[in-house]
Amino acid sequence: MSVLVNKDSKIIVQGFTGKEGTFHAGQMIEYGTNVVGGVTPGKGGKEHLGKPVFNTVAEAVDKAGADVSIIFVPPRFAADAIMEASDAGIGVVICITEGIPVQDMVKAKAYIDKRGTRLVGPNCPGVMTPGEAKVGIMPGFIHNPGRIGIVSRSGTLTYEAVDQITKAGLGQSTCIGIGGDPIIGTTTKDAVKLLMEDPDTDAIVMIGEIGGSMEADAAHYVKEFGTKPVVGFIAGQTAPKGRTMGHAGAIIGGEDDTAAAKMRIMAECGIHVVESPAAIGDTMLKALGKA
Amino acid sequence: MNLHEYQGKELLAQYGVVIQRGIVAHTPDEAVEAAKKLTEETGTGWHVVKAQVHAGGRGKGGGVKLAKNLDQLKEHATNILGMKLVTPQTSAEGKLVRKILITEDVFYPGETEPSEIYISVLMDRERKCNVIVYSTEGGMDIEDVAHNTPHLIHKEYIDPLAGLQGFQARRIAFNLGMSGVAYKNMVKFIYNLYSAFVGSDASMFEINPCLHASDGKIIAVDAKVDLDENALFRHKDLAALRDTDEEDPTDVEAKSYGLNFVNLDGNVGCMVNGAGLAMATMDIIKLSGGEPANFLDVGGTADAKRVEQAFRIILRNEKVEAILINIFGGIVRCDRVAQGVIDAYKNIGNISVPIIVRLQGTNAVIAKKMIDESGLEVRSAILLKEAAAEVAKVVG
C-alpha cells in the first residue's frame, strides 16, 4: 500500500507529445506505471507511445477513466493545465514544470482548493510508489519497495535520501517530491500527515530547506499527532540571507526561516534531526532500533 | 529582478500612482539641467539628490541629500556620483553610484503637517495570496517597527479570485487616519498600486516613505520594486530594464551559460546537479571543516561544455583551495558526467587545486573507474560520506 499513487491509478500525461512529456512518459511506462493516455490539445484521436491522445483532460477522464494527471507543459501554460485537470475532476494532479509565474500559481491554487483537488508541486520530481507507480522524473532503479515514506522539497536531494534508505537495507512506501516553489499544492505537513496516516508506512524522512515555515508547521504536527519516527534534514545551513538558492522558494527572509531555526524547532518536536545529509540512512536505522 | 527607484516610479506612474517626480542624471551638469527643468515643470524650489543603486538604506550611507539651491545641488551630485555607497544592505565595500535621480521636494509646507506612511505589497507564502502591509510609521526601517511596535503594522489580505475590493482600500485609508481629500487620494493610491503590482507580475513593492503631503496629496517618495523573473516573458518592456551593473558579474556570466551560481566567501568550490543537493553539498563542506566558496547548480545536463564553464568560473576565485563535484545521476548518466569532467580538466590544462568527484546513481561504478583510470589528479567517491571525508582530508 501507499499514498497518492499505486498500481491501480489511471494516469494521464498533460503535455504528452512534447519532448519532456514523451521522454518521461516513456520511462514511466517502462517502469510499469499504469499510464492510460495523454493530453495534447489539437492532437486528440492520435496514438503516442502506444497510448491514446486526447484533446482535453475531461475527455481523458470520460474515455479512459483517468484519476491522476502528471503535467509537463511549459511554464506559461502550466497553471492553466492544473486548473483544467481540476475542472475535469482529476483527484491527484502532479505538476513537474519549473518556472511558473507566482501570480499564476496564486490563482490556480485558490481555484483547485475550491474543487478539492490534491496538487503535488509544481517544480517537483513527482511521486513514486516503488514497484507500483512512478509518476515523475526520478530514476526508478534506486528505489526499493518498503515501509519508509519520504517527503522532500528537492529533486536530486530526494534521490540521495532514497538511495541511502535503500542502501541501509530498507525500502520506500511512497516518496513525495513536494517542490521548491513559493506556492505549492501539498505542503511538508500535508505530505507528512498522509504518510503518518498510512498503515503501510513505518517511518518518515522529511527533507526541507531554507525559506518559509512549512517544516516548522510539519514539526508541530509531528509533535502533536506523530506515531512514527521521523528523520529530518534541512538544506542550506550555509546559505546567505536574502539570496535565492536555485529554488524560487529557497530564500532566507528572516530569523524564522533559516536552517538553524527550523532544525531547532524540529528537534524540539521530537524529530531525529541530522546535521549532515550523508547521515540520513544511518539515522533512520537508529531511529528504528536497527543499528 | 530588482528595479532602480526611478524605474519603479515610472512603472507606478503608468498605473496612475502619484509619484515624486524626478529626472535621472549621470553627471553633475546633467543634474543641474534636470533640476532647472523640474523647477519649470513642478515649481519646486528645493531638490533632492538620490543615488540609484540596488540597495536600501541609501540615506543612512549619505546617498540621499537635500539641495536648497543649484550650487548645493551640483556639490551633492559631484559627491554622490562615483562614490562607493555603503548602506546596511551593501557589503562593506559598498556599491558604485553610476547615476542619480534629481527629484522635486514634496515636503512643502501647507494646511497640515506632512506625514510619512509605509506601504508594501507582496505575496504571503503561508496564506498563498497577496497582502498589502501598511503602517503610519513610514520613513523608518519596517523591521524595527515590526519589532518595537508590532500593533502599528496592519495587513490586508487579497482574495486571489476576487481581487482587491473597494471596502479593503477604504479600510486601509481609514486605518491610516485619513479624511477628506487625503482619504479619497489614498483609496485611489491603493487601487492603482495594487493594479500595478498584479499588472507587472511583481514579487514585491515597497513604498517607504509614502507621503501624506500638506495639501492632501498621497505621493510615492520612494519605490522599491522586485519583479518575478519567471513572468518576465510576458513583460518584455520590464525585462529590458535589467541593470547588470548592479549584479555580481560572475553571477551574470554563469546565468548566460545556464548555470545557477551564487558567489560566496569560502575556500571550497562546488558543482552540483539540483538546487537542494547543492545546498546540502555546501553544508557537507562546512561540516568537513571547509567553507563553501559558491552555490552552483549545473542543472540536468552536466555535459563537458557546462562542466568546463563551471570549472572556469569556480577557479577564477583565488580563495578556492579545493573543488567538490557532487552529481546524483538519475536521468543524466554518471559515465557521461565523468567524461565531461575528464574532458573539461584536459581542456583547461593545469588545475592546481585538488578535485573530489562524487558520482552516484546511474552507472556510478563505471564512472568511478573512468575517473580513477584517467590519470588525473582527481579523487573519486561514490557515497556522500566518502566525499565528505575526502574534503576533510584536503581542508580539514
Closest by Cβ to B276, choosing from A103, A110, A209:
A209
- Among A12-26, B177-191, B343-357, the least confident range: B343-357
Crossing angle between the packed helical segments B334-348 and B304-315, to the nearest 10 degrees: 50
Closest by Cβ to A101, choosing from B201, B328, B329:
B201
CB atoms A102 and B280 under 8 Å: no
- Among A266-275, B158-167, B260-269, B360-369, the least confident range: B360-369
> Does A272 qualify as catalytic in the annotation?
no
- pLDDT surpasses 80 at B304: no
Closest by Cβ to A156, choosing from B234, B276, B282:
B276
- What percent of chain A is modeled with pLDDT above 70? 100
Judging by DSSP bridges, how do beta strands A126-129 and A118-120 pair with one another?
Answer: unpaired
- Closest residue in B to A233 (Cα) is B280
Q: What is the mean pLDDT of residues A13-36?
A: 96
Q: What pLDDT sits at residue B377?
A: 81
**Grid cell for residue A164:** 541511502
- Among A59-63, A86-90, B297-301, the least confident range: B297-301
Q: Burial of B330 by CB count in 10 Å (0-12 exposed, 13-18 middle, 19+ buried)?
A: buried
**Neighbour-count burial for A137-176, b at 16+ CB within 10 Å, e otherwise:** bbbbebbbebbbbbbbbbbbbbbbbbbbbbebebbbbbbb
- Which residues lie closer than 8 Å to B183 by C-beta, 6 or more apart? B173, B174
Q: What pLDDT sits at residue B81?
A: 97
Q: What pLDDT sits at residue B308?
A: 86
| Catalytic sites of B, residue numbers | 118, 206
Q: What pLDDT sits at residue A111?
A: 97
Residues 234-263 of A with CB under 8 A from B: 235-240, 243, 245-250, 259
Residues 10-69 of A with CB under 8 A from B: none
Angle formed at CA A195 by CA A190 and CA A197, multiple of 5 degrees: 95
Q: What are phi and psi of B6, to 5 degrees?
A: -65, -35
Q: Give the mean pLDDT of chain A.
A: 95
- pLDDT surpasses 70 at A251: yes
A100 CB within 8 Å of a chain B CB: yes
Q: What is the pLDDT of residues B109-152, one digit of tens each?
A: 988 899 999 999 999 988 999 999 999 999 888 888 888 999 99
- Closest residue in A to B143 (Cα) is A254
Q: What is the pLDDT of residues B271-281, one digit of tens each?
A: 999 999 999 99
Q: What is the mean pLDDT of residues B213-221?
A: 97
pTM of the model: 0.93
Give dist(CA A100, CA B244) in Å, integer: 23
- pLDDT surpasses 90 at B379: no
Banded pLDDT at B394 (limits 50, 70, 90): confident
Q: What are phi and psi of B181, to 5 degrees?
A: -65, -35
Give dist(CA A67, CA A78) in Å, integer: 18
- Which residues lie closer than 8 Å to B298 by C-beta, 6 or more apart? B259, B271, B272, B273, B306, B307, B310, B327
Query: What three-state secondary structure class fits B46?
Result: coil
- pLDDT surpasses 80 at A30: yes
B57 CB within 8 Å of a chain A CB: no
Residues on chain A touching B287 (C-beta within 8 angstroms): 275-276
B55 CB within 8 Å of a chain A CB: no
Q: What pLDDT sits at residue A209?
A: 94
- pLDDT surpasses 70 at B302: no
- pLDDT surpasses 80 at A6: yes
**Grid cell for residue B344:** 573539461
Residues on chain A touching B286 (C-beta within 8 angstroms): 237-238
Residues on chain A touching B234 (C-beta within 8 angstroms): 76, 101
Return the higher-pLDDT residue of B238 and B315: B238
Banded pLDDT at B268 (limits 50, 70, 90): very high
Are A44 and A99 spatial neighbours (Cβ–Cβ below 8 Å)? no
- What percent of chain B is modeled with pLDDT above 90? 66
Give dist(CA B187, CA A204) in Å, integer: 50
Q: What pLDDT sits at residue A1?
A: 60
Return the higher-pLDDT residue of B250 and B128: B128
Are A61 and A117 spatial neighbours (Cβ–Cβ below 8 Å)? no
Are A238 and B286 spatial neighbours (Cβ–Cβ below 8 Å)? yes
DSSP B264-289: -SSSEEEEESSHHHHHHHHHHHHHTT
- pLDDT surpasses 80 at B303: no
Residues 105-144 of B with CB under 8 A from A: 123, 125-126, 128-130
Q: What pLDDT sits at residue A121?
A: 96
Angle formed at CA A197 by CA A271 and CA A163, multiple of 5 degrees: 60
H runs (alpha helix) in chain B: 5-14, 28-42, 70-80, 142-148, 166-175, 180-199, 236-239, 249-256, 275-287, 304-315, 334-348, 364-373, 384-395
Banded pLDDT at A248 (limits 50, 70, 90): confident
Q: What is the pLDDT of residues B165-175, one digit of tens each?
A: 999 999 999 99
A230, amino acid identity:
V
Are A130 and A146 spatial neighbours (Cβ–Cβ below 8 Å)? yes
A208 CB within 8 Å of a chain B CB: no
Q: Give the mean pLDDT of chain B.
A: 92
CB neighbourhood size of B309 (10 A): 18
- Among B32-41, B173-182, B285-294, B380-389, the least confident range: B380-389
CB atoms A212 and B280 under 8 Å: no
CB neighbourhood size of B289 (10 A): 15
Q: What is the pLDDT of residues A121-135, one digit of tens each?
A: 999 999 999 999 999
Q: What is the pLDDT of residues B175-215, one digit of tens each?
A: 999 999 999 999 999 999 999 999 999 999 999 999 999 99
Residues on chain A touching B301 (C-beta within 8 angstroms): none
Are B226 and B204 spatial neighbours (Cβ–Cβ below 8 Å)? yes
Return the higher-pLDDT residue of A291 and B62: B62
ipTM surpasses cut 0.85: yes
Residues on chain B touching A276 (C-beta within 8 angstroms): 283-284, 287, 385, 388
Query: What three-state secondary structure class fits B33?
Result: helix
CB neighbourhood size of A232 (10 A): 28
